[in-house]
Chain A
Amino acid sequence: MDKQRRKFLKIAGATALAGIGAPALVRLTSSTALASEHGAAVEGHAAEAAAHGAHVEAVPQGVRLGMVIDMRKITEQPELLDHAIAACNNAHNIPQFDNRKSEIKWIWKAPFENVFPGESSYHLAKKVEKTDFAVMCNHCDDPPCVRACPTQATFKVKENGIVAMDFHRCIGCRFCMAACPYGARSFNWEDPRPYIKKYNKDFPSRMRGVVEKCNFCGERLALGQEPACVEACKGTGAMVFGDLNDAKSEIRQVLDKEFTIQRNPSLGTKPSVFYIV
């Protein structure tokens, strides 16, 4: 009996020592690999910190599609915006609901104080006060909706910077709608099919329980066409579309010349839609 207890205590003690000692042993043997990794991480942080400290923006790479909306032109010809919205509705099989709750909006109208809540609308110029602004997805360079999406149904296309959606993957959780500070996303509360006036047979409709938004007409760009809304305003310059990273593009000429504002830039989402008011 005594002998057995003695043996048991020995084994228990040895096991406890081995358990406590093992992590230390592992750390000792792999110390070199860990150390180098740690060093690299520190270096990376330092570089990042330097960039932040100096407020250096990363050099833009690749294509980043964006749009300039010249509200002066739309104030002159408000019907331009109606044409643009109608063109978008037709191109993307967007349903027209009577009740605002079910509304599906890709490009829509909103008053100045709603579009630019951060700007003062005190003693606003009369023409701006009376004009409906064109609003759509900003195709942010740092889109909060993409970070919120649990299924990667919405994502940034790296080839052109469009914040796109894969409706197949959308589970309708609406996190993206909560994350988007611009209200650019709509949820299909009802089956949209009966409310679509005319079908574009080259584009699908959506089903109930899916979120949707402007896709910068990715499918039209692939055919070498301009986005439907831009095409609807053709010749007026009310909407200019192009690559923000290409210094020679038409949109950059406009941006270089005119004073433009973005929606709520302080959020750091880096919107790609600019307004000339």
Chain B
Amino acid sequence: MYNKGTIIPGLIIFVLFVTFPIWFNGLKAGTLPKPELPPGGEKKCVMPVEYMRANHMQLLNEWRDNVLRDDNRTVVTVEGKKYRKGLQMACMQCHSNKEKFCDNCHAYTAVKPYCWDCHLTPKEAALKEETH
């Protein structure tokens, strides 16, 4: 091999550089996020926890299409409590703190959903609350 002296150290430097985020954090993925459980003490979600953890985004899309396109606005009943399909109308009723619930994991996984460009978090809604 020609130029062994430069190529091999070069490769080593390159691999070290590319894997920098991994070894710099001590081969750990950081502290796992712990999303806040509903402050109101609700124990049961509309779907099992495992399903929600993996597929809440699909469920939200399904609900969106049900409500907006298929005119299917049937309420979801969980433990006798009725929820209208929707991020603001169902999810945030229990998970009332978006910063401590949604953002927790989304920040960890570097996901930036654009839900809140339009949807109001309970905190925002309370800023300029409509009083009848």
Contact = CB atoms under 8 A, between A and B. Distances in A.
B130 A207 contact: no
B11 interface: no
Which size bracket describes the interface of B in this complex?
A: 20 to 34
Interface residues of A, number: 28
B128 A198 contact: yes
Interface stretch (A31-39, A154-162, A230-238, A260-268): A154-162
B125 interface: yes
Nearest to A193: B124
B117 interface: yes
A199 B126 CA distance: 8
Contacts of B124: 199
Contacts of A167: 118
A96 interface: no
Given A207-B117, A207-B118, A222-B73, A201 B64 contact: no
A199 B64 CA distance: 21
Contacts of B130: 90, 198-201
Contact of B69 (A90, A93, A157): A157
Interface in B107-132: 114, 117-120, 122, 124-131
Contact of A201 (B68, B73, B88): B88
Given A196-B128, A198-B129, A207-B117, 9 more contacts: A158-B71, A165-B68, A199-B125, A201-B88, A201-B130, A203-B88, A206-B118, A222-B73, A222-B84
